[in-house]
Amino acid sequence: MRARTRPELRAAAPAEFGRLSADEQERFLVHGERLMTNTRWEGARDVAVTDAMIHTIAAHAALLTAGFDTATYPYLNVRTVIVHARTIVTRGAQPGPARGVMTSGPQYLAGQSGHGRGPVLLDWQTAARQVADPDRGVNVIYHEFAHKLDQLDGAADGMPPLPTSDDETAWIQTLGTNYRRLRRRGTDGLVRGYGATNPAEYFAVTSELFFTRPVELRERHPRVYRRLADFYRQDPARRR
């Protein structure tokens, strides 16, 4: 399996892979292989999930874990990935546009991460477009798999598992403050407004920027960048 999948993961990897250290590349490949082989890959509504789709999704998800020890498997809760051809439409009660408001109307999504061991849903049309244009700073694959890392401690609260209580305090002070500021302002010129939805979305949106536009994120929000660098155990701005 390793001899077959490693070249495929390398070929599908984002450009950032070439900037990783040898150790980071090895961790990338190990976690990417595990994701490919331990996950059930399904197509929604008769979508034929190709090897190229699997390689692309696994390679981009693996970049988030290139700093994580291979003794653990950070995507343990990713059991199923469901690929949609285009925009995902969901129904049912959802948080509305204002705090405390619920809506039952259809929701149009590019991706969704189920709680716990729930599936990851991805709109392939959007994912492929964003993979081809990383400088836009959006990537639904990074976004949804960041949610899965956030949920490793069981809570989808925008704070993934951290080593110490001091780290948790620093995280709340930094990301919490910037999240509330974004809620007040609606946008800040870099972090898109969707990050103001809740702390979990703020973490996922800033994670997209961390891996696509790290230099700009470090310049505009140095403390947010530092917290993310500590968690992901990577420094992509320095690599560039």
Q: Which amino acid is it at 11?
A: A
The full set of domain ranges for the chain reads 1-152, 157-240
Identify the architecture of domain 1-152 in CATH. Orthogonal Bundle (1.10)
- 4 or 129: whose pLDDT is higher? 129
Q: Is 154 left (phi over 0), alpha (psi -120 to 50) or beta?
A: left
pLDDT score of 93: 57
pLDDT score of 90: 76
Q: Which amino acid is it at 101?
A: V
**pLDDT confidence bin for 1, thresholds 50/70/90:** very low
Other C-beta atoms lying within 10 Å of the C-beta of residue 167: 15
What is the arithmetic mean of pLDDT over 185-198?
92
Residue 3 makes CB contacts below 8 A (sequence gap 6+) with none
Least confident of 123-127, 151-155, 166-170: 151-155
Residue 8 makes CB contacts below 8 A (sequence gap 6+) with 51, 55
As a whole-number percent, the residues of the chain with pLDDT over 90 amount to 81
Q: Which amino acid is it at 126?
A: T
- 110 or 133: whose pLDDT is higher? 133
The domain defined by 157-240 folds into Collagenase (Catalytic Domain) (3.40.390)
Dist CA 192 CA 25 (whole Å): 30
pLDDT score of 95: 55
What is the arithmetic mean of pLDDT over 18-28?
97
Question: Tens digits of per-residue pLDDT, 94-108?
Answer: 554 444 555 566 777
Q: Which amino acid is it at 8?
A: E
pLDDT over threshold 70, residue 17 = yes
**pLDDT confidence bin for 91, thresholds 50/70/90:** low
pLDDT score of 190: 96
Question: Tens digits of per-residue pLDDT, 48-81?
Answer: 999 999 999 999 999 999 999 999 999 999 999 9
pLDDT score of 132: 96
**pLDDT confidence bin for 4, thresholds 50/70/90:** low
What is the arithmetic mean of pLDDT over 208-230?
98
